[in-house]
Amino acid sequence: MRRLKSLTPILAGAIVTIGSLGASGCFGRVAFVSLGTAIDVLPDGYVSVMVGTAPYYYHRGIFYRPYRRGYIVVPAPIGAWVIGPPPGSVMVLVENDPFHYYRGTFYAPLEGRYVVVRPPIGAFVRSVPETAATRRVDGVEYKEYAGTYYRPAIEGGRRGYQVTEPPSGR
């Protein structure tokens, strides 16, 4: 947790407002939607999240921003606070620091809540989002999602991906 404590001053501007409701009946069970997907109405049970002065909306691991006359799915903003990790997230340990991972986003426990953090280099995950792009750099294949690079890896006999620095030859 030593590295996470240093995030507290950076995150002071992130505020969550709970209890906002979307239109009745929409998105009863939310399926994963891709970055850039536009919607007309936010799902029931969303929460308003301010990161600095920027408004976001959050529901079950998906972040939205206002867009035209509706909303658009965007990458999780670094510094956003949420009450808990989304359903279906998995615990990942990186140098003994706990994180929750969900479809390309890492959440760190801090001060009784969870905050979206930059993907920690070296984190091993079993999967990356289906929409991750395949990039080949200097003969090595990577998956890239929302600016994060993942390299195929094996840990404990399990296949998955490891968060890596962006390759220099990209």
What pLDDT is recorded for position 31?
Answer: 54
User: Strand, coil or helix: what is 27?
Assistant: coil
Question: How many structural domains is the chain composed of?
Answer: 2
Q: Which domain holds residue 34?
A: 9-81
Question: How sure is the predictor about 32, in pLDDT bands with cuts at 50, 70 and 90?
Answer: low
Cβ neighbours, 10 Å, residue 28: 9
* 59 and 42 Cβ atoms separated by less than 8 Å: yes
Q: Residue 132 falls within a domain, yes or no?
A: yes
pTM for the structure as a whole: 0.80
**In the predicted structure, residue 79 carries a pLDDT above the cut 60:** yes
Which of 52, 81, 110 is at the close of a domain?
A: 81
Q: Which whole number is the average pLDDT over 150-165?
A: 97
Comparing CA positions, the residue from 39, 41, 37, 38 lying closest to residue 25 is 41
Residue 62 lies in a domain: yes
Task: Give the containing element (helix H, strand E) for 9.
Answer: helix 8-11
> Does some domain include residue 130?
yes
Q: Which residues pair with 98 in a beta bridge?
A: 93
Each residue's pLDDT tens digit, 97-114: 999 999 999 999 999 999
Residue 61 counted as domain residue: yes
Residue 18: pLDDT band (50, 70, 90) is very low
CA 145, chain centre distance (Å) = 10
Instruction: Tell me the per-residue pLDDT of 38-48, one tens digit each, with 9 for 90 and over.
Output: 999 999 999 99
Q: How distant, in Å, are the alpha carbons of 33, 59, 116 from that of 71?
A: 12, 13, 20
Cross-strand pairs, 23: none
Q: Are 23 and 76 within one domain?
A: yes
Query: Could you tell me if 17 and 75 lie in one domain?
Result: yes
The pLDDT value recorded for residue 134 is 96
Position 71 in a domain:
yes
* pLDDT confidence tier of residue 170, bands split at 50, 70 and 90: low
**What confidence score (pLDDT) does residue 168 get?**
84
> CA 88, 91, 92 angle in degrees (round to 5)?
130
3 state SS of 84: coil
